[in-house]
Structure 1
Amino acid sequence: MVIPSRQEVHAWATSVEEPPSHVVAVGNVPALVAETDIRDSLRKLLGPDKVWRRGRVYDSTCNRSAILFTVGRDICQEMAANTLVAPECPPEGYPFIYSELPVIREMFSSRGPTQVPEEPSASTWPLPTPVSKAITMAAQSQSYRKLKAFSGVLPTPQGEEGIDLWRENALKVVEEWSCTDTVKRQRIMECLRPPASTIVTIHRDQHPELTALEMVEFLFEAYELAEDEGAIWTKYFNVYQKEGEDVSAFIHRLQLVLGILLNCKLIPASGMDEALHKQYLRGSSPTHPIANMLRSKIMDGGPSMFTELLRQVKMQ
């Protein structure tokens, strides 16, 4: 399980320069669960305040994460929940960890004063050593050179950098950072914006061993512009499942090319699923049993989104 202690969440908040009383971590989140679902559930629970994702620590041994969020108010001044109910979560919900014990106003009723909840014991909130080490390292290196934002959107939005300049700076900065590779990956994710952040998150879920430098090169490969539109479309039509290639790896390569098409505005975001289905049906191996199973599901109007396709593959 990936469930940080309150002290570790406090250190994490400090490392990203956020007021500890304004942050909360959601623990033990499966890799395939969308962060937007967790964020939306937080907003429903905490009210209309703005909620921002500030970081994610991933543990490849259990394929789960702890996600840090900032809330637009002091959430430690009121009674707080211990679990978060979100789409596809277990019956008991996801653990909800504050950096500080919530302080509540003493309210009297016929039942007597409201009680402040006790802090969970260490045995209740285990945290794998690699994750704890990553959070601690982040807290010890508050001052560091940050990367500019990158989304992959064209034309490049104000305040962002194009892929060539961003990659050049990222390669230098990542080498400068004196922290673990886990923290480096976290810092890279903090500077990314959709659709680039979405593509990287999916790629990391499929390749948990991905290093920070490999992440930079992956982005460069995804967003480096081809010579012309015809070359980009040719790359899309030539994505076929290789002999012996896993279905998930094939789908990932196809999604990568679709990301380039989207980035160059050759297809709209609403057309991503249709384009994925068309080339999957053309390019998947007719002799691969799982590929055939998924092909039948698609033709029957089954899974549509990229993540849903991957979930179906993992279930086999």
Structure 2
Amino acid sequence: MSPPLPYPSRPEVYDWAVELQVPPPHTLAVRRVPVDTLSLSIQMALRQHPNLREAATIEVLEQHLEDEGYCSVLVSIGQNITEDQSPSSLWLGRSTGSCCIVVYPELPIKSEPHSSHMNLEEVAMPISPSPPESYCRADRAATSDCSPPSSIAQPFFKFGDEIRMLAQTLLDMGAAKSEAPTQQQYRKLKIFSGTKPTPTDEEAFEVWREYTSQVLEEWTCSELVKRQRIMECLRPPASTTLQMAKDQHADVTAHQMLETLVWAYGRTEDIGQLMKRYYNLCQKDGEELSDFLQRIQAVLWELRKRKRITAAEVD
């Protein structure tokens, strides 16, 4: 048995539950229990309370001696219990008329989500503080002027302004921190307009398409964000082409948007034509082997993107 714990207080009941590795919100202590009281009597007395009748379990965990003939008992309830909805005393129904006192653990105060943010907003509001009650004279019933002397009020208002400035600074820092994830750097797409001839600050469509396909595979954002990122890199007439496609199909995906641009600005060869071009490939007179391989890889990669062949078949 643990050392004597006379008359456990609310913090002591909390520590007692933690020591026994029981959730404190599920526990209560009963004081001034006669030492010869059966656990069943305590359980039956607790179940007399309306809010504890349907409790899954009521278990007496441990007892500590208070003084001669009495002890404190820690009880575990199979549910969260609150002091305002549970008994404050127990009548054990003994011939001696024992009335025991119930003590609930003192639980830590949990701050509500964003509560500090809300408090800061209240402090940061540019309100005009009212003067302390002690500044109001007994003659305020005869006059509406209840302002403190200027020599006293000036430091009071200045201190309030400094507090509000500090609160506003903390709010700005919190807003900047909360927006940081949304402003995280990502691999942006290059500008493409579809203008002929290709402007000097842009790349040919096939190069832009290849780059965009790779970036789309890297992005882990939602489909909506992918569509937004594609649109932000386009200029007319390419952006107009996609906007018309989006108007006709609101649920278009990022890959479908890219395919729309392929049909508008890319090669229009079908699978049969691509296969024919592949089989007709041959090394030209004086062509370096590396250049010939690049031409082969370009056609194979086009077939791979069209899902005509697999990655293993490319090799």
Same fold flag (TM > 0.5): no
TM-score normalised to structure 2 length: 0.27
TM-score normalised to structure 1 length: 0.27
Q: Which has the higher contact order (CA 8 A, sep 6+)?
A: 1
| Structure whose CA Rg is larger | 2
